Amino acid sequence: MKKINTRTARFGRKAAVVVGSSLCLASTAFAASEGGSGGMSPLMMLFLAFVGVFVLMQLIPAFVIFGSLVSAVFKRSKKTAEAHSAK
């Protein structure tokens, strides 16, 4: 089996060792500490506002398309209207 010894392969091996060792040393102490904030952080509120803007941006075209669909379903076609008016 031929050993690959390129610059990217060496970097990949080093990165794997660093990530693997940091995962082995990871603990929940940082995640468990409250930090004394008592509420949502400003970054969390900013993230939720950002997500809310995207949801609203997608709701506007959805309502327009839904309104077009409803009006197309319940609107009489010209042929049907002419046939009923001729009777």
For residue 24, the model assigns a pLDDT of 62
pLDDT in 10s for each residue of the chain, 87 residues: 566 677 776 777 777 766 666 666 666 665 555 555 567 888 999 999 999 999 999 999 999 999 999 999 988 777 776 777 766
Task: Give 76's contacts (C-beta < 8 A, 6+ positions apart).
Answer: 84
For residue 29, the model assigns a pLDDT of 61
How far apart (Å, rounded) are the C-alpha atoms in residues 66 and 62? 6
For residue 32, the model assigns a pLDDT of 59
How far apart (Å, rounded) are the C-alpha atoms in residues 68 and 15? 53
For residue 64, the model assigns a pLDDT of 95
